[in-house]
Amino acid sequence: MKVIIVGAHGEAKELINRISSGWSISVVDIDQDKLRNFTTNRQIEKIQGDGTSALVLRKAGLDQATAVVTLTVDDEVNLEILKIAKQSNILRLSSVINQSVNLNKYKEMDVEVVEPNILLARRFEHILEPRRVVSQAFAGGRAEAIEIEISSDSPVRGKTLREIGSDYYIVGALLRKGKVIIPHGDTEIETGDLVTIVLQSGAFSNVINLFSGSESRFPLEFGKDVFVILENENNLKNLSESEFYIRNTKAASLQLLTKEDLFENNLETTQETLKAVLKDQEFNTTYKSKISNKDIDKFMNDNSVGTIFYPIEETTSRAKIRYMLNIASKTNTPILFSRSTYPYKTIGLLLNNNFDENSSNSIAFDLASAMSSNLVAININQPKFLQQDSEKQLAGTIEKLQDLALSHEVQLDIETHEGNEAKIFSEQTSKFDLSIVSSSATQTWQGRKIVEFVSKNSKCSVLYIPG
């Protein structure tokens, strides 16, 4: 994601050194000498020019920006820059405030402000009354206390303090379901815990990565096996995608359900051909003279399936797609409709506001992180007279997606279109290698039709995540 920082000051340097590597950074300043001497520990773009100029801000990447931070010593300059950013629909606006009398002007623009005088006062207050003050920084600035909410993909989730103990930080308290817990070595950290950590200031980035970073788990929350259905010889080309999928996820084994006479010529046995295609990938095979729906049902009941892998052809009927979607929903198992569009360099996500542990949003970032993929979230607005979600709700959803992108260090782009959701998203799939849709849209008859239409008409492989 892109952030534009206006003002090449010391605060900008400290900010750049602390924020996630998921940010692409441009620094704007009118002073050429100041820019020349402005150095950080990471690569940034420097733009010399007047930050109140829309042309300069666009040169800095305003059209692609997610956030704008103003650090100039003139509030009127800051406000003019922020006005231009707000007109460009930038959601994350923040600024230093130089004169408190201007606070309302910033608030009217929904700008998050930092008051240097208050920060300095807190520091001196800590020196004068150290026992009364609860502050983020202490011990002469050599230590910090921070609070982090544990997400479902945090590397520490499910681990005890004894397992993650360190000399450079301690976990002082947990807030869990409204109750404060003073932890000990056997205390296990759970999703949703608000953890208070005291740490050496130099360990900030390491602690952040440990507690709020991401760890790939998909599809183990659903099951350990990838279950591939091979109904004819044409499906052979999809087998390599299943191999790619299992090698790049946490799935443990590849299970094949295939016809005994899969290939028309008998120069090699089916098993020999499968081994030749899958090379070093181990797999188990179940043979059937003809694969029926009962065979699929039985396999699902008898095995721990994390993903159903179903090859799609032009001749695949809507009825078959509908049946496979029903199986996925009934067994709460993701299904991948394979079109052999791997590797997944770009993943498309149909935007929704479900951020539960195994939602399509969470899984999309899990996969994008594990496969070093770019992620594109498609927001499709209905015509004005049909819209139900408010702009505020949409802004909240986008901010949550951006937060996930930062924690997973994933490149996220958000596109907005207007019209028929199923048709437009299906058209957009020509730009993706994998599309992800979810059951959050399938609570209604119309929603189920959207998932069915996308699964049938997508230009790339489609991963459906049930509720």
The percent of residues above 90 in pLDDT, for the chain, comes to 59
Number of domains in the chain: 4
Average pLDDT value for the chain: 88
Asked which of 26-30, 135-139, 308-312 is least confident by mean pLDDT, the reply is: 135-139
Q: How confident is the model at residue 192 (pLDDT cuts 50, 70, 90)?
A: confident
pLDDT at 99 over 70: yes
Per the model's pLDDT, the better-predicted residue between 70 and 115 turns out to be 70
Report long-range pairs for 237-240 (Cβ below 8 Å, ≥24 apart): 237/311, 237/340, 238/309, 238/311, 238/338, 238/339, 238/340, 239/274, 239/277, 239/278, 240/277, 240/340, 240/342
3-state helix, strand, coil in the chain (%, to 5): 40, 25, 35
Picking from 300, 275, 299, the residue whose alpha carbon sits closest to that of residue 287 is: 299
Domain that holds residue 407: 346-465
**pLDDT value of position 125:** 58
**pLDDT value of position 148:** 84
CB atoms within 10 A of CB 124: 10
Asked which of 46-60, 153-167, 172-186, 306-320 is least confident by mean pLDDT, the reply is: 153-167
Whether 127 is in a domain gets the answer no
The CA distances from residue 323 to 199, 280, 294, 300, 330, in Å, are 53, 33, 12, 14, 10
**pLDDT value of position 381:** 83
Do 104 and 178 fall into the same domain?
no
Tell me the mean pLDDT in the region 197-222.
Answer: 81
Amino acid at residue number 17: N
Boundary residue ending a domain (212, 237, 259): 212
Do 94 and 182 fall into the same domain?
no
Whether 232 is in a domain gets the answer yes
E strands, 384-423, where?
A: 412-418
Do 326 and 368 fall into the same domain?
no
**pLDDT value of position 153:** 76
Rg (CA), the chain: 26
Whether 35 is in a domain gets the answer yes
Do 356 and 321 fall into the same domain?
no
Whether 219 is in a domain gets the answer no
Boundary residue ending a domain (169, 189, 212): 212
Whether 125 is in a domain gets the answer no
**pLDDT value of position 108:** 92
**What's the rounded Cα separation, in Å, for the pair 173 and 195?**
6
**pLDDT value of position 265:** 65
Per the model's pLDDT, the better-predicted residue between 113 and 447 turns out to be 113
Boundary residue ending a domain (291, 307, 338): 338
Whether 450 is in a domain gets the answer yes
Return the SS3 of 11: helix
**pLDDT value of position 384:** 54
Do 233 and 204 fall into the same domain?
no
Do 49 and 150 fall into the same domain?
no
Do 375 and 333 fall into the same domain?
no
Do 329 and 233 fall into the same domain?
yes
Whether 217 is in a domain gets the answer no
**pLDDT value of position 361:** 92
pLDDT at 132 over 70: no
Q: What is the DSSP letter of 188?
A: B
**What's the rounded Cα separation, in Å, for the pair 214 and 151?**
8
Q: Which tens digits make up the pLDDT trace of 111-128?
A: 999 888 877 776 675 566
Do 114 and 10 fall into the same domain?
yes
Task: Give backbone dihedrals phi and psi of 13, rounded to 5 degrees, phi first.
Answer: -65, -45
- The enclosing domain of 451 has a CATH number of 3.40.50.620
**pLDDT value of position 373:** 96
**pLDDT value of position 372:** 92
Query: What token pair was written down for 195?
Result: 């953890």
**pLDDT value of position 389:** 52
**pLDDT value of position 72:** 95
Q: Which tens digits make up the pLDDT trace of 344-362?
A: 999 999 998 888 878 999 9
Q: Which tens digits make up the pLDDT trace of 382-405?
A: 665 445 556 778 888 898 898 888
Do 357 and 401 fall into the same domain?
yes
- The enclosing domain of 188 has a CATH number of 3.30.70.1450
**What's the rounded Cα separation, in Å, for the pair 5 and 57?**
10
Do 326 and 286 fall into the same domain?
yes
Do 367 and 394 fall into the same domain?
yes
Whether 218 is in a domain gets the answer no
